[in-house]
A = this chain, B = another copy of it.
């Protein structure tokens, strides 16, 4: 008998039939004697439809009102899920974020959870209920409805698991777990049995779309062990937890490929202090996220100058280019080269900390395939390279074969 938090995403509750499937799974755990808290997202498509409605009225709708609007999506799902459990003869009660005691700050559309008072959840569980909590939402101490932003339902599940000291937190999704590489590109990619928070964080931020970084960070901070698994079958998933000794034996945990990046190079930037700061302040002011930054010595004219390259999300490329062109007279670089024909290939593994030669082996593997490396960026447990988009998948397969098999 365990206390379990289960989170189901939008595709798992997309229609009444799927909600019944979720209820059937929850019922199995409940009948097995487990206490279950279920966190659900809005039915897939619902949130997008609500946003569309709002934008038909106003291009930039107020964020407080967007929270009021979007919170209805999860509220709909919790009621339907409770009804589906009743239909199976299971006692179940739905709670909005506010009713579940989830208190957030007042930053609408991307609120942070401040604390959780799970009194009502504990009471309902003690009475033998399955408790169904609306993901993605909370309430400020003043009673304003807030939402947590992208990936908010995962965050709700992990924060609740921490607050009620759950034995297990299961994140149900439409994939079987976390893979060593995208199985659609690398057919012999393997599902990992376990992975450390840090590795999961790197993979999350590198384009493995399983979970948002903030939920993993939260889990790491509060030591919540969670399992990513499929709502379509009963296969065991991937356990995400604090790094263990045995994990360090594995040098490379996974390989990820991010095709959603674009690169901008400023050629012959004058080499004196404050220039980079000026450039990236302007980019930041335009609300553009920068990922990798590399500065090289320029082999240009006589003056001391460097080439400066950085990557941004593909949709931001045009905006970033305009910002940079606007700085040309002020800064005095030669020209701007922009391309969205790049891919970022990354190797992740906590074992890298104690193993040498990983970078060398990676570069060698790429060289053997005749693939040129544009940019390199490393952390303690990660190596990323930017390469030509056309070589992305070939590079991923080769590197996966070299390190994982």
**Which residues of A are interface residues toward B (Cβ below 8 A)?**
16, 19-20, 50, 53-54, 56-58, 61-62, 64-66, 68-69, 71-72, 75-76, 78-80, 82-84, 86-87, 93-94, 96, 99, 143, 145
Question: Chain B residues near A96 (CB, 8 Å)?
Answer: 68, 145
Q: Quick one: which of B20, B53, B99, B145 contacts A57, CB cutoff 8 A?
A: B20
- Chain B, residue nearest A72 (CB): B72
With A53-B16, A72-B72, A94-B68 in contact, do A58 and B79 touch (Cβ < 8 Å)? no
Q: Quick one: which of B54, B78, B83, B145 contacts A54, CB cutoff 8 A?
A: B83
Question: Chain B residues near A54 (CB, 8 Å)?
Answer: 79-80, 83
Question: Chain B residues near A145 (CB, 8 Å)?
Answer: 96
- Chain B, residue nearest A64 (CB): B93
Is B143's CB under 8 angstroms from A57's CB?
Answer: no
- Chain B, residue nearest A62 (CB): B86
Q: Quick one: which of B65, B75, B86 contacts A82, CB cutoff 8 A?
A: B65
Name the residue among A53, A83, A86 with the largest chain B CB count within 10 angstroms.
A83
Question: Chain B residues near A16 (CB, 8 Å)?
Answer: 53, 56-57
Q: Quick one: which of B66, B87, B93 contacts A79, CB cutoff 8 A?
A: B66
Question: Chain B residues near A64 (CB, 8 Å)?
Answer: 93
Question: Chain B residues near A65 (CB, 8 Å)?
Answer: 79, 82-83, 86, 94
